[in-house]
Structure 1
């Protein structure tokens, strides 16, 4: 069996605000039956979840989400409709340009990307690859 990332714990400031952001903007599913103790479960893929915990944070984490072109276009439209500042590179959030040609290799190579911050100041990236 290949090693796979099963889950990660993401510290947030306000659980409900963060859940609303990740479900509405990114389209992740909140699996309430997986909530336990301080953790709220967000399904990313069939084999990977984010366990969100309201432990407080100053931000600074970086999460990159690869998706199909259709999913990317839909998420990017929701980002723009919500008035969320975005950029074409990790260091240009707020320039309202993008998607950018991502020069850094992701898990599947080079792709198109948009960067923005979640309500906790975690840097998020959505990307798609020309083959998806």
Structure 2
């Protein structure tokens, strides 16, 4: 058997709101709540299991997407008025990057997690 990432826990001050926020941006659904988790299932089967926490330390989550998904996601970011940056340190606001010959950007979720979308690994 190969080793695969199956899921990771994403801590949030409001589990349901944070899961809904990212699911909406990515254009996916939040799966039914399982125990303490509100899971978002990604195309490769990995789930982001949102869980409630009183305090949250920001983490980094990166999503490799196709060009069509990138365009749709970026349109939702812009329509929602969400600030985005070309770089992980948030020094280039309102810009996209061209890393590895693709397109990418970073944005924060409601808990300060640094979310990255990019088209070329």
TM-score (norm 2): 0.89
Tell me what 2:77 maps to: 79
Q: 2:98 aligns with which of 90, 94, 101?
A: 101
Distance 1:121 1:5, change over 3 A: same
Aligned with 1:11: secondary structure?
strand
Q: How far did residue 93 of structure 1 move? A: 5.8
Question: Is 1:8 aligned to residue 5 of structure 2?
Answer: no
Q: How far did residue 46 of structure 1 move? A: 4.3
Q: Distance in 1 between matches of 2:81 and 2:91?
A: 13
5+ residue gaps, structure 1, are: 104-109
Q: Distance in 2 between matches of 1:94 and 1:78?
A: 20
Tell me what 1:29 maps to: 29
**Deviations 1:62-81, CA, capped at 9 Å, x for gaps:** 00001110000100110011
- Alignment: residue pair count: 121
Q: 2:90 aligns with which of 89, 92, 112?
A: 92
Tell me what 2:111 maps to: 120
What RMSD in Å do the two structures reach over aligned CA positions?
1.9
Runs of 4+ in 1 over 6 A off after TM superposition: none
Aligned with 1:30: secondary structure?
coil
5+ residue gaps, structure 2, are: none
TM-score (norm 1): 0.82
8 A Cα contact 2:98 2:104, kept in partner: yes
Aligned with 1:25: secondary structure?
helix
